[in-house]
Amino acid sequence: MDAVTSAPARIILICSGKGGVGKTTLTANLGIALARLGERTVVLDADFGLRNLDLLLGLENRIIYTAQEVLAETCRLEQALVKHKQEPNLALLPAGNPRMLEWLTPEDMQRIVAMVAERADYVLIDCPAGIEDGFKNAAAAAREAIVITTPEVSAVRDADRVIGLLNTRGVAPVQLVLNRVRPKMMASQEMLGVDDVTDILALPLVGLVVEDEQVIVSTNRGEPLTLNGNGSPAAKAYQNIARRLRGEDVPLEDPSKARRGLRARLMNKIRKTTGLF
Amino acid sequence: MTLFDFLQRLLGRQKPSGTLAKERLQLVLAHDRSDLNPELLEQMRREILEVVQRYVEIDLEEGDVSLETEDRVTALVANLPIKRARPLPALVAAAAAVGMAEAPDGEPAPQELAVPLASEPTEDPAAADRD
């Protein structure tokens, strides 16, 4: 690890309020993508009751220690950080294990994140679902946040609650990722549109991820899509989010409005006016 | 989409579900953000109408007091169509009831008033404590 740290680490909370909208998948893919861009990245699984980040990264058999042991000084931080084999710039740190009796406090989270941040460029905190203690713990150490949601009423409503809480905590900037976008349904207005969601939540969009079966395949394998240079639409979307986070200007295109030639545009128009196809 | 849905939509009788989703969300978020439950809102609506009715006759059927939200700012919007102003004696009585010295002008009042609510969590230190 570099002895000279140029800039302080970016500490980013990845949260959604509602469960199952893609927090952990985003954390895993973004972690790998940032690491591949040369950033020293640590992903912290703050959901110790139901932790799954290890599984998505294919590291489930390599966890020995957790943040809890580091804080209790029964092991060193280096021992608890699980390095990814194919992507050594990425390390995983679970906050705790599901059997642990005493839960971490917000102060514990701040301490462990401060330790990790000394040796990283990016710390991504995978937040548990909900807005109770798990969320408060995870948010305690975060400086900025990415809220991920899907174009569904329940997910957007829950995201709104979380955004309100992040605002009161002074976490900024808060950016939005819209996941599981179905361009066809959006074009026929049978799904909340990209603009609808950004208008309602009033957050800048940092990424759009289209519904992609490859996401399921990759979680089955424990290999995030961004790992093997897979050219699937979701993989590209995750890579673009990583680049935007680093300040690169990567244009965002609304897939439901994509111009793909006259015929497609005509069909889009028909779809929009009639709701057919 | 079924043929029935398609025909409904072609005839302009049914909104696409995405549009409906947005409208429903805007309404529910206005309530979520303001922390006002429907009963409280209803009570406030009744009291507002009561006060307004002291001054002018309003169309209760058409009257509407609701929360609207845009850019994370929630506003209380009252849209109260006025039938006519109350006769002067009634106005004086109403003014006396609320402790005002003079009766206001008998002209119909502006029909829409939007009052921004300071309900955004950022600006509410009490809300921060409740978390």
Q: ipTM, 2 decimals?
A: 0.79
Exposure on the CB side of residue B110, measured as CA atoms within 13 A:
5
Joined together, the tokens standing for residue A206 give: 């940092």
Of A117, A111, A109, A177, the C-alpha closest to A145 is A177
Q: Would an 8 Å CB–CB cutoff place B3 in contact with chain A?
A: no
Q: What is the pLDDT of residues A256-272, one digit of tens each?
A: 877 556 666 676 667 66
Judge whether A57 and A28 are in contact, CB under 8 Å: yes
Whether A76 has its CB under 8 Å from any CB of chain B: the answer is: no
- Give the Å distances, CA to CA, from A133 to A47, A123, A127, B42: 11, 20, 11, 33
Ranges of chain A with pLDDT below 50: 1-3, 5
Buried b vs exposed e over B96-122: b needs ≥16 C-beta within 10 Å? Answer: eeeeeeebeeeeeeeeeeeeebebbbe
E strand spans, chain A: 10-15, 41-45, 82-83, 90-94, 122-126, 144-149, 174-181, 205-210
Classify residue B95 as exposed, middle or buried by CB count within 10 Å of its CB (0-12, 13-18, 19+): middle
Q: Do the chains contact at A276 and B19, CB–CB below 8 Å?
A: no
**Which domains occur in chain A, in start order?**
10-274 (3.40.50.300)
Q: Is the peptide bond preceding residue A173 cis, with omega within 30 degrees of 0?
A: yes
**Cβ-based contacts of A162 with chain B (< 8 Å):** none
**CB pair distance less than 8 Å for A275 and B5:** yes
pLDDT of residue B103: 42
Contacts of A62 (CB under 8 A, 6+ apart): A54, A82
Residues A80-122 pLDDT 10s: 999 999 999 999 999 887 776 677 899 999 999 999 999 999 9
> A168 — contact with chain B (CB < 8 Å)?
yes
Where exactly are the structural domains of chain B?
3-118
CB A131 within 8 A of CB A123: no
